[in-house]
Amino acid sequence: MTTICVFCGSSMGNNPLYQKAAKSVAGYFIKHNIRLVYGGAQVGLMKILADTLLENNKEVIGIMPGLLIEKEVAHSGISQMIRVETMAERKEKMMEISDGFIALPGGFGTFDELSEVLIYNQLRIMDKPVGILNTAGYFDKMLEFFDHSVHEGFVRAEHRNNLLVSDDIEKLFRLMQQYSPVSMGKWLEDIKAESGHNIHH
């Protein structure tokens, strides 16, 4: 994995541990010479991450819709800014050029990007590892809800388990390196069966 896309807050968050986490991710990227792909902003945790890498002469690629570039949140010092038309196109591009994805604490933008890569993996449009850096237990309640969704029969356990989680970037990377995609066959058979599609066979 040489190119990793990070989703993270356009805000800093209220706990200084979040900024520390963004710096620890940058430190890992520097040590292992990993290229960053991200939302391209110069605000929040995104700024911490990009700036730390740039100070260490590492490659940072931003992907941003024109609409956001014009609002002047774009980072002017990054190695490359890819301008796209829409938010949907941005996610497509992120998925195309990255080998894996990490979500750091963030808000709806981060949740949206995280959901998108999870569903692409689920549908096997993509087979790339997705990890959550669970700094200060920020994602605990979301993960609890995902477990609830498994319990209630809306998310399959194997899809839930394929979302890799750690509060430590080294450990998270190790999990991502061992990632293996979930096969689609059984899942599709099961959801068809529960909807009565097998009664005519």
Q: Which of residues 3-22 bind ligand AMP (CB under 6 A)?
A: 7-11
Q: How far is the CB of 7 from ligand AMP (least distance, A)?
A: 4
Asked if 110 touches ligand AMP (CB under 6 A), the answer is yes
The structure tokens 């002017």 sit at 76
Element at 171 (helix H, strand E): helix 169-177
Out of 13, 50, 95, 109, the residue judged to bind ligand AMP by CB under 6 A: 109
Q: Please spell the DSSP secondary structure of 20-59, one letter per residue.
A: HHHHHHHHHHHHTTPEEEE--BSSHHHHHHHHHHHHTT--
Amino acid in the structure at residue 26? A
Closer by beta carbon to ligand AMP, 17 or else 150: 17
Q: How far apart are CA 111 and CA 68, in angstroms?
A: 18
Contact between 107 and ligand AMP (CB under 6 A)? yes
Closest-by-Cβ residue to ligand AMP is 109
| The binder of ligand AMP chosen from 17, 30, 73, 97 (CB under 6 A) | 73
Nearest to 21 by CA among 135, 131, 130: 135
Asked if 116 touches ligand AMP (CB under 6 A), the answer is: no
CA distance 173 to 158: 19
| Nearer to ligand AMP (CB atom), residue 66 or residue 157 | 66
CB of 119 to ligand AMP, least distance (A): 16
| Contacting residues toward ligand AMP, per CB under 6 A | 7-11, 39-41, 43, 64, 68, 73, 106-110, 113
